Amino acid sequence: MFLIIGARICYVTAHARLPEQNVIAQGENLTYRGLTYQIKDAVLWNYEDYFKEHPEYQSYQESQLTGENTKLLMVAYTVEKIQDQNVLETMPSIQYFHVFNQFDPFFFSDLNPSLSDGTFVSGDTLYIPYEIYKANLTKEQWEQVENNQVIYEMVLGTYPVKNRLQITDIEMEGEQ
């Protein structure tokens, strides 16, 4: 029985179709589901400093998180309509090292009110707040985060094509 299961695992692993990788550099366009996405800029904040600078979003700060253990990567990107039939991806994850992160959808909504009030138009800039946690990384990886030596990738779709928009030009804000 174990031999059959082992043979099956080996067969599937050897014949599995991996997704095509589509890597887009920051500033370049990705066309996906009738829309064009482009990373405009990104700012890496110490967690507490972001909320000091933007007190209107204070309700999204988790009290147990601190700037020394958490960073906030604020990504700005534009979306342009290129086809009448399109689907806006509003929950893109971010990938760095071995980690995939999502974000607080309520915080995202408050940062992008045009999505919920119906005033969003083609070419508008959207903002995504990704939290980067020290606890999820090794000591060496966290040092790379703190020294701004990480390539982050916003991921749109994973199969049959994994679209990765690279975020490489990152401004640092707050006390580092």
Q: Where residue 118 falls among pLDDT bands split at 50, 70, 90?
A: confident
Our measurement of the distance from residue 158's CA atom to the centroid of its chain's CA atoms, rounded to an integer in Å, reads 13
Query: For all residues of the chain together, what is the average pLDDT?
Result: 88
Q: Is residue 15 part of a domain?
A: no
| pLDDT in the model for residue 94 | 93
Q: Is residue 6 part of a domain?
A: no
Contact 152, 114 (CB under 8 A): no
The boundaries of the domain holding residue 136 are 29-173
Q: Is residue 107 part of a domain?
A: yes
Q: What is the pLDDT of residues 35-93, one digit of tens each?
A: 999 999 999 999 999 999 999 999 988 877 776 899 999 999 999 999 888 888 878 99
Our count of domains for the chain comes to 1
Q: Is residue 98 part of a domain?
A: yes
In sequence order, the β-bridge partners of residue 130 are 73
Q: Where residue 133 falls among pLDDT bands split at 50, 70, 90?
A: very high
| pLDDT in the model for residue 175 | 62
Q: Is residue 3 part of a domain?
A: no
**Least confidently predicted of 35-39, 112-116, 167-171:** 112-116
Q: Is residue 18 part of a domain?
A: no
What are the distances in angstroms from CA 54 to CA 4, 74, 110, 171?
Answer: 59, 12, 12, 17
Q: Is residue 81 part of a domain?
A: yes
Whether residue 4 is predicted with pLDDT greater than 90 in this model: the reply is: no
In sequence order, the β-bridge partners of residue 108 are none
CB proximity list for 122: less than 8 A, separation 6 or greater: 79, 80, 81
Q: Is residue 7 part of a domain?
A: no
Question: pTM of the entire structure?
Answer: 0.85
Helix or strand holding residue 172 (H, E): strand 170-173
